[in-house]
Structure 1
């Protein structure tokens, strides 16, 4: 069974809102999903867990956070769409904007630093250039108009993690998902 982190819609909303606040205006949703993916990837490398816990897929414009992309399109993901819609506008043409600030209580300091670092590097670039850059990431496979799941293990191997380290990360993800389930029951 592959590693699967639990999707944290609150953290995804706070991360998206932070990017939108840094941008100061509406943003092309392609740019937002690219920066969220890159931030999750960096968090995996540094913290051995992503910020959002979302599923990753290869799409024509590079890797994408599947749940966040569905939320941007107005499609339900678990029970997250009403919460997402409270803070992030529906996509209008190709842009989204911040409706109100969700704060940042769910994000730790290191996650906030990663988001700021990603925005500083990619936030002012054309999103299509960022998408093209993500095609060079080893986990991206050309889906030819479809989508292909990206395994967390592939990303961790690219960072030089051993099979033993990857197994430990997997066990931690399983324990955290179990605890979340018990605590939220």
Structure 2
């Protein structure tokens, strides 16, 4: 079993900034996490590529993006242009844009995101942005078969498992994982 972990902090921060921008500047932490997870999942299903490259894990309140979760909780150091450049410290379980004026339009100012990334984020916002956080938690428990109750801990959701849920065959899954790894390597070089 291969684990997905090609985290791109700058893209992740800008994906979060996109959703926060759409919300008017702030969201409950758990709602932002669920929206980011749903966008990552949808991008993998439709295009075979992640937005954030983060490690996917099952946690008691549903699936999350592992390193993103650490950044949201102030448990990770931010790189220049990364999380702390876009997102303020959490307060009262809320996450907000550091400076809302940084985003005139997502297309102009969130330059780490591709057109397909913006499309996935916008689609998830249209479908789920009006839901409250607990509706999203329930949805990710009940409707996403890759989530398994980790019994108070966390459990990896591999790309193999996710692609199996999507109905992809072994050959297609292996090719997609190889492509994701190659793209992540090239992005770091």
TM-score by length of 2: 0.89
SS class of match (1:135): helix
Matched-pair contact (CA < 8 Å) for 1:3–1:173: no
Aligned pairs (5 A) from 1:3-152: 3-76=3-76, 79-80=78-79, 83-100=82-99, 101=102, 103-136=109-142, 137-152=144-159
**Per-residue deviation, residues 65-115 of structure 1 (Å, max 9, x unmatched):** 0011100111115x5487311210111011010013362111111110111
Matched-pair contact (CA < 8 Å) for 1:60–1:146: yes
SS class of match (2:138): helix
Partner residue, 2:106: none
Distance in 2, matches of 1:141 and 1:29, equals 21
**Per-residue deviation, residues 7-32 of structure 1 (Å, max 9, x unmatched):** 11111011100000000032101000
Distance in 1, matches of 2:147 and 2:3, equals 17
Aligned counterpart in structure 2 of residue 172 of structure 1, from 172, 175, 179: 179
**Per-residue deviation, residues 20-68 of structure 1 (Å, max 9, x unmatched):** 0000032101000000000000000111011000001111110000011
SS class of match (1:145): coil
- 5+ long unaligned stretches in structure 2: 104-108
Q: 1:180 offset after TM fit, Å?
A: 3.0
Partner residue, 1:161: 168
SS class of match (1:63): strand
Matched-pair contact (CA < 8 Å) for 2:60–2:151: yes
Distance in 2, matches of 1:123 and 1:94, equals 17
Matched-pair contact (CA < 8 Å) for 2:59–2:154: yes
**Per-residue deviation, residues 86-145 of structure 1 (Å, max 9, x unmatched):** 210111011010013362111111110111111111112111111110012111011121
- 5+ long unaligned stretches in structure 1: none
TM-score by length of 1: 0.91
